[in-house]
Structure 1
């Protein structure tokens, strides 16, 4: 599964830098509804820059990888000059140069609860 995120960086070309989150395996909702536009989890970075993804009660550690071939995020704009000639224009919205890869098995988050005697 791939998820696109907006990074705080701006590229040399002045375009916003976006990133791609790649998770090995499947993410399923309990209700069976599609995850498009839904809250999935929290993404954090350690002081060293290692990404950590918290999904429910599970913790995933990942790494940042530079893509060999960047992706361009395009917006298609259709214009009508005349009634007979429609014209299509593509506008570059962002460039995706980095991927956050989470390929290890998730670890459960367990809290220590002290027993009162």
Structure 2
């Protein structure tokens, strides 16, 4: 079986992958899918810093042994559904669907941000309060 893969010609985006070692749990035990987790910043030296709530994690940037491709699955046909995203086609009636599928490479991942140390609490300085 042949799977057609199309590469975006106008300059491929480069993404980074984030790896967290350990468990990431919400305080309310709710699902975290599509939720804001935290902010990523970089020091002047290029060290990544992840801030989640009142905790800070220091990480490092690593090259991946093999690059990964981020692909989007699309249906290809001769009628007006050509090039539609797979999610858009799910809403159409089955009679309009075609069996031809194409994958488009949207981005390449060559590096990852690795956070493997325990988070440290962020403590505000209260020097003025202690002096009074």
TM-score range, shorter chain: 0.7 to 0.9
Alpha-carbon distance in 2 for matches of 1:41, 1:78: 35
Q: Report if aligned partners of 1:60, 1:102 keep a CA contact under 8 Å in 2.
A: yes
Runs of 4 or more consecutive aligned structure 1 residues displaced over 3 Å after TM superposition: 80-85
Q: Quick check: 1:67 aligned with 2:80?
A: no
CA offset digits 1:24-79 (Å, max 9, x no partner): 10111111111111110110000110000011111100000010101100000112
Alpha-carbon distance in 2 for matches of 1:54, 1:28: 15
Greater share of helix: 2
Match of 1:92 in 2: 105
Count residues with an aligned counterpart.
105
Instruction: Give the TM-score normalised by the residue count of structure 2.
Output: 0.73
Match of 1:23 in 2: 20
Instruction: Give the TM-score normalised by the residue count of structure 1.
Output: 0.81
CA offset digits 1:62-107 (Å, max 9, x no partner): 0000101011000001123488962110000000100000001111
Alpha-carbon distance in 2 for matches of 1:64, 1:72: 18
What CA RMSD, in Å, does the superposition of the two structures yield over aligned residues?
2.0
> Would the alpha carbon gap of residues 61 and 85 (structure 1) be closer, same or farther in structure 2, given more than 3 Å must change?
closer
Larger Cα-atom Rg: 2
Q: Report if aligned partners of 2:75, 2:102 keep a CA contact under 8 Å in 1.
A: yes
Q: Report if aligned partners of 1:51, 1:100 keep a CA contact under 8 Å in 2.
A: yes
> Would the alpha carbon gap of residues 80 and 46 (structure 1) be closer, same or farther in structure 2, given more than 3 Å must change?
same
Alpha-carbon distance in 2 for matches of 1:74, 1:59: 32
Greater length-normalized contact order (CA 8 Å, ≥ 6 residues apart): 2
Greater share of strand: 1
Unmatched tracts of structure 1, length 5 or more: 1-12
Q: Report if aligned partners of 1:15, 1:94 keep a CA contact under 8 Å in 2.
A: yes
Unmatched tracts of structure 2, length 5 or more: 1-9, 80-94
